[in-house]
Every structure is written in C-alpha cells, then in structure tokens.
C-alpha cells in the first residue's frame, strides 16, 4: 500500500488578475488535505478508482475520459518516457478521500490530482520532483477549468506560500512561470467563511474574460490596481505589518467587486467580519460563491466567527499562517 497527500490552498490576494500575468500570493492549508491510497488489485482487474466523497467508483477502462482517468494515463506515460521503456498499466485499487470543500476556491481538484500523482508514481517506484508534479497537475486542471492560472497546482505541489506570476501560455508552467517563496515575518490567523454556494471556477473566470475582451482598457486598469495592492501586501508580509495587510485585503476586495466577481452572500460575510473587528476581509478564489477570508487578531477570532455564523456562513475554518523567513 502506498499513501500520499496534498494540502488545500487559499489565495490571499491577486485572484483573477493573476490570469492576466499580474502577481498573486497563495498559501497552502496544511490542515485540509486530499489523500490517495494505492494498493495492488486482483490480477487482470485493471485500475479501479474509488472516490467515496464524490459517491463515485469507476474503472479506468469504463471512464477513460474522466479527468482523473486521463491523469492516471498521463502519469503512466510520463513514467514510461522517464524510464525509456513502457510502464504497463498494473492492476490497482486507488482510493481518494479529501477534507477540502469542493468547488469553493480551496484547490480541491488540484489537491486530489497532486496526491494522486504522488501516490501512483511512488507505488510504481518513482519519486517525482515538485515541478514535475505541478506540470502534470496543471494539464489535468485544464480539463476542469479551461484556462487555469497555474497557481493552484503550484502552491499545492510545492506546499509553501508563493508569489506567482503567470508567464506566456505553456505546457510547462513550473519552469516558465515566476514562482518565488514569500517571506512572512509575523504569524497571523485567517478565518475562512463558507457561503455554502458552490462556484465552478471556469464560470466567473470565463465571464471576466468576456468582459475584458469587451472593455479591455477598463479591466486592464483593474488588473493593474490589483497588482499594485498585491505588491504592497508582499511588503507588508515581509515587514510583519499585519494591520497594513488587512487594509490591503479590503482594497483587493473593492477591486474584485468592481470586476463583478463578488456576490451578495460574499459581500454579507465580508461586511460582517469587518464590523466584528477583522483587520481585513475579502473573497478568495473565483467568486460568485465559495469562500471569503478574514484576517483576525487572536483575541478577536471568536467574535468574528460568531458574526460570520450570524451572517449566514454555512461553516467556518481557521488556519494559522506561521512565520517563514526565506534566506
């Protein structure tokens, strides 16, 4: 038996603009993970995938076009090329579980794909570097989202806070994209408020693309303004200025609202968090549902959580972002 896992992620700031080659900062969520267990199957049974959280069980042969089936084939193909010989499809039982909410901007799909790549490769005797895992997962993500930014697969595969800038379109984003570690001089806490509304990433991403095509100059100015706030957020993190970071999260939210990717549910939770003493609050991810984040001081966490519950949050999560100094 071989087991591997991968974390969820949260975008601290820069979503949507990152698709248009502006910077974004993303954080792994170590306490929320997808897990994949690979075990030998009965001889001749092929590969069976069991995903109880999705209430789905299938074989590779019966659903070859499923994104995870295609990913398995991609991993086997990669291992064959790497070994310069065919890696036959073995008889395997693959079980996928996850504590990451689905379709809520927390990287569930990329985390499952990352854990699957790691577990399958390890079971077959290969240890893939993070950049290779990231590339394989990016290819899988394109089957889900059409035009993913590349940020989910990167922060999840590398499992560290990152500064990310997308480069021109490529099949190898781990090499071509600008990826840098982020210095976090002082720890901080985030509350994650779930609207309970699932939001498929490709829908708001596609809508923003249509609006950008129709009003290019206006949306380019919004993307530039988001980039400027993200640059200042990186500086605030490096300086340990958590209050300044909170103000920048609020600024980022205002720009996302202008872009049309917030929603009444998100706006209500953001407003409730701010009124209850959060230092800053914004949506995180594609928007139109999903989750928001609130930056809180430890003494204010319970008060903000209560305000989010009263405002209708379907559930709440809390994550501690630890100090990280990169030399």
Kindly list the catalytic residues: 152
CA distance 308 to 310: 5
Sheet-wide strand order for 188-194: 280-284, 291-296, 188-194, 315-321
Which of 107, 111, 83 lies closest to 96 in space, CA to CA? Answer: 111
Beta-strand (E) ranges in 67-196? 92-98, 162-165, 178-181, 188-194
Helix (H) or strand (E) holding 82: helix 67-83
| Sequence-distant (≥ 6) Cβ neighbours of residue 220 within 8 angstroms | 20, 212
DSSP state of 324: B
CA distance 121 to 125: 6
Q: How many CB atoms lie within 10 A of CB 262?
A: 21
CA distance 174 to 108: 19
What tokens were used for 270? 């953001």
Under 8 Å between Cβ of 23 and 240: no
């Amino acid at each position: 038996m071989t087991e591997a896992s991968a974390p969820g992620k949260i975008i601290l700031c820069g979503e949507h603009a990152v698709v248009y080659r502006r910077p974004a900062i993303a954080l792994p969520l170590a306490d929320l993970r997808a897990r994949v267990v690979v075990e030998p199957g009965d001889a001749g049974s092929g590969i069976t995938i069991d995903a109880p959280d999705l209430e789905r069980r299938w074989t590779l042969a019966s659903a070859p076009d499923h994104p995870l089936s295609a990913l398995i084939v991609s991993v086997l193909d990669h291992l064959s090329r790497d070994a310069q010989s065919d890696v036959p499809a073995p008889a395997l039982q693959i079980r996928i579980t996850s504590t990451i909410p689905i379709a809520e901007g927390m990287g569930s799909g990329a985390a499952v794909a990352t854990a699957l790549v790691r577990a399958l490769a390890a079971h077959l005797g290969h240890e893939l570097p993070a950049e290779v895992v990231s590339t394989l997962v990016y290819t899988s993500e394109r089957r889900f989202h059409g035009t993913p930014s590349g940020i989910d697969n990167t922060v999840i595969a590398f499992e560290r806070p990152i500064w990310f800038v997308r480069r021109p379109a490529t099949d190898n984003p781990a090499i071509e994209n600008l990826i840098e570690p982020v210095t976090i001089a002082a720890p901080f806490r985030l509350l994650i408020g779930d609207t309970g509304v699932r939001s498929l990433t490709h829908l708001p991403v596609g809508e923003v693309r249509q609006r950008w095509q129709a009003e290019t100059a206006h949306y380019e100015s919004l993307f530039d303004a988001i980039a400027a706030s993200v640059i200042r957020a990186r500086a605030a993190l490096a300086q340990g200025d958590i209050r300044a970071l909170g103000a920048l999260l609020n600024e980022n939210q205002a720009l996302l609202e202008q872009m049309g990717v917030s929603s009444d549910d998100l706006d209500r939770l953001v407003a409730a968090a701010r009124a209850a003493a959060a230092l800053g609050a914004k949506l995180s991810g594609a928007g139109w549902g999903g989750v928001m984040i609130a930056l809180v001081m430890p003494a204010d966490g319970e008060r903000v959580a209560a305000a989010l519950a009263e405002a209708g949050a379907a559930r709440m999560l809390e994550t501690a972002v630890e100090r990280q100094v990169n030399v």
